[in-house]
Chains A and B, each alone.
Chain A
């Protein structure tokens, strides 16, 4: 008797047992001799044993008609972190779940092993090196499972050969090489993409923004997506063609402020924030700051953007300060952003979050300078400075005020507990900020201060010290 035949004959047995009842009387014929000559209970148990053995050994789940293998996870353009450092990187990723570690590694020319970390579908803020993995999710979800990246340069013809992240990176490269061609390509092909994808592509026009882009940006002011309209308006504003936007909104924002005059001839005009009375008002003000351009806001106050920034009463309303800086970062021309940085730098106490709002418009040199000041400021810390960017290659970090505070806190913690979250964060941030030489020096200094070299809190510093600038290890 074949297995299929037995299985068929077991159906009535299975039905009896499922609902409850004796089944020996319906057992397959070949099995009946084993069930004879014993009482009913014993026959039932014998049938159960036979059925169990039969089902376990011969019955397999029926194969589905169609099976779909997901595409291969593609290799990345950078080498994978050496085996020796994988454990450290994995621990750090598990502990902090911090994409900045990926940026740090990418800056050192390596990527994390996919067993230790893979992007999720929604992970967008990743180093460019991970684009093929980010796109893998889209490939896995689509019918297109082509493995090789497109051979052709990004063009109108090859546009559809790219998955979104890879296309975005190719577009950024094209924008750097040939800004005019890039904006032409966008004008020709972007309209077919979703608002989310268009927004990310238009965002890349920030690099090398010039009057050449103006016609395209102006065409976007009629886009169906409010976020794209706002971005186009902000970029036009950066080019000095701001002031557009919903007049009612601009007026509403301006009404949150009053213009005061001061000075000998009462010629200095200052936009002073009126007191915000309710959370709803506060929220509305923040929304308007996020949508309106600096030029339009300044014009509504009958000032130029330069006048507005130069006379802004920093410190009077810290929330408004932050909103203004974010507005400037988004929509102000380079010279106005530089004025913002000058004003912030001239303050007696440095307010790092305000600089962080402008970080995207700052040069590496400017970030270094701000970071130095942040580390020397009262209450300054590596964790706060890290928000300006990882992998900046700082040297002499422990000689700063933040460094001395860290060493003192570590010394104080020796007799207490070593599991101090703040110290953990500081050591982690320190490891992210310093150069490789700086990491080695810091490890020596910390060892001299009594921190054992095997202390897991030094993982980030050790990882930094082990990675050469090109990603190789010693």
Chain B
């Protein structure tokens, strides 16, 4: 299907979108590009600033498009770039069966008919592909201005550090207050009390830690009443540990990541200390939560099917809730080859997807690894290892060996593997209760397992209930 380049220019919301799209027209930024056999649909994955690449798709029949990026502009630069690459033949678009995520979008979409410019009849500012293609000459930098900028940046960083230290001091005082006032009352009023200190942490340039405080009540309230005070002791103690770790080494990127902000994608990709792992991965599951600060947090857990170093990767993205519901970048159970860059850490876990290629058409699914060390007792060893290396963390990913779920007298669920019996959080669904779990991946938190997925004789099953 032939595309009129002028139609792409007309479609772009503004000249800057075209300019940004021009910057994305490098095949190296894209993977998984394809087109339907009739050429009407094109799709691809474009590396953005998040942990996951954005999934971009377009219907060339009516120039409709969809992208998983959080941009409020429509179409976004990624969709424009995809259509533009197709128009310019700037990358090969091999014909293939339409992937399920594109089909899913087609099922939901409402056709718009004509592009907005033509429909509303108003005179939109003229936009030009040629102008967008032109690289802007880099202005020669004034050395004094650069010095001033560097000094200002240094001053800002120092102010931020000061603000964080002040906020952490306030946090410790707050923790002490909770002990003095009584944890029974804290558990009853956790939402209000945590909200107040979280607001203070946001003011103190510690938004990640503030998010953790905001989520703390829901973690406590998910537990049986009798376990909540003990869990509150653990949660509050870990907060103090984290504050002390920051004070001891303010420059420690891993600790800073838990308090202020994670490094940018580019910083991780350029960091020689960030481990890169090329492997075959399986999507274990995904959690999408709207946070109190208006951001949606999207967490995807991956299992390394090729080696146990590391065994897991966690992709975390945030985007504003106002950007609306976003299509997932993955489907549960999906397997793919990918290079993954891990944020430098004592136990690398949080990661970015650098590139990925789908499994060959018709290729058999890879089995989950048989981890020799994954004896039931070593599940707890993994928990202990994390508690030693990163004692401030509240979640540990574990790969469970063969086991089975069972009910106690009060119909609470337990995972049993050999002599090890561990309580479960959440409902993993009827099927998980009714079959042997050859292997299972789970999150260990607050002394409970939250199953993500399992291998069974029914094949791989999701355990999100």
Contacts and interface: CB of A to CB of B under 8 A. Distances in A.
Contacts of B434: 70-73, 136, 140
A217 to B, nearest CB: 39
23 contacts: A14-B229, A17-B179, A18-B184, A19-B182, A20-B184, A20-B185, A22-B179, A48-B236, A51-B237, A53-B237, A56-B237, A60-B447, A66-B408, A67-B414, A70-B434, A71-B434, A115-B458, A415-B113, A417-B110, A452-B40, A452-B106, A457-B107, A459-B107
B461 interface: yes
Contacts, number: 171
A420 B367 CA distance: 42
B327 to A, nearest CB: 13
Interface of B: 36, 38, 40-41, 61, 98, 100, 102-104, 106-111, 113, 172-173, 175-176, 179-185, 227, 229-230, 233-238, 240-241, 244, 380, 383-384, 387, 391, 404-409, 414, 416, 421-423, 429-431, 433-436, 447-448, 458-459, 461-462
A113 B179 contact: no
B387 A18 contact: no
B431 A52 contact: no
A59 B406 CA distance: 21
B98 A45 contact: no
A17 B175 contact: no
Contacts of B185: 20
A175 B448 CA distance: 52
Nearest to B405: A69
B416 to A, nearest CB: 6
A454 B103 contact: yes
A67 to B, nearest CB: 4
A70 B434 CA distance: 6
Contacts of A23: 179
A63 interface: yes
Given A59-B447, A67-B407, A456-B106, A22 B180 contact: yes
Contacts of B433: 70
A421 B179 CA distance: 57
Contacts of B244: 49
Nearest to A68: B407
B145 to A, nearest CB: 46
Contact of B100 (A49, A87, A113, A418): A87
B406 A55 contact: no
Most buried by B among A65, A70, A71: A70
Contacts of B229: 14, 17-18
Contacts of A71: 434
A316 interface: no
Most buried by B among A21, A45, A418: A45
A83 B241 CA distance: 48
B267 to A, nearest CB: 31
A45 B182 contact: no
Contact of A454 (B41, B108, B184, B236): B41
Contacts of B416: 67, 69
Contacts of A115: 429, 431, 458-459, 461-462
A71 B104 CA distance: 36
A474 interface: no
Contacts of B447: 56, 59-61
